[in-house]
Amino acid sequence: MILYVNSCIRKESRTNRLAKALLDKLGDYEEIRLADMELRPVDEERLKVRTSLIDARCYDDMIFDLAKQFAGADLIVVSAPFWDGQFPAILRTYIENIYAIGIVSAYDEKGNPQGLCRAKKLYYVTTAGGNYDPRFSFDYLDHLARDMFGIAETELIYAENLDIEGNDAEQILARAIEGILTVTRK
């Protein structure tokens, strides 16, 4: 199953258009649109519940549904526009909600994380009005995917400088979509 984690807030998002071009190439997918979900940051009460369930190795509670969906995906596509030097807060909230020890990750005897996710690849799709700097968006998710979730390969797909005066945003986006034609499902 291909999981599409859509963290685009705008209905007419350019990032979503780029991601959908990739998904058209990859095949059938299951989409979760984070803006339509009632995700909340983990608070003290929710943390107590989650910790007690994890300690009891009881993963049947609905609190773990998103984590199990993420861990069970064969391929993951994350779309996130580049805003204010990072991705939207809703994506960080999603990550916090799926990070469940025993489902997406575990610790070895030395305390090092061992990924438990089935996906072999994660695509990160973004667009930026100016120059794109991956340090606080893709690089972060790349490290989580590889080092914590066990997803061996990540790929960045992006279009940048869309809002620079004199640039043709549609032309830039079209070129980025053309670049997707070389993508193959692994």
- pLDDT the model gives residue 83: 86
Per the DSSP assignment, residues forming a β-bridge with 78 are: 5, 124
pLDDT value for 125: 97
If pLDDT is split at 50, 70 and 90, which confidence band does 11 have? confident
Average pLDDT on 144-166 reads 96
Give the structural domain span for 135: 2-182
Residue 23 scores a pLDDT above 60? yes
pLDDT at residue number 137: 95
Coil vs helix vs strand at 83: strand
Alpha-carbon distance of 40 to 4, in angstroms, equals: 20
Asked whether the predicted pLDDT for residue 176 surpasses 80, the reply is yes
pLDDT number for residue 183:
64
Which residue bears the tokens 């960045």? 156
**pLDDT of 75-131, one tens digit each?**
999 999 998 889 999 999 999 999 999 999 999 999 999 999 999 999 999 999 999
CATH number for the domain that contains residue 152 = 3.40.50.360
Cα distances (Å, whole numbers) of residue 107 to 38, 100, 113: 29, 11, 5
Residue 30's H or E segment, with its range, is: strand 30-33
In the predicted structure, residue 182 carries a pLDDT above the cut 80: no
With CA atoms as reference, report the closest residue to 77 among 151, 9, 5: 5
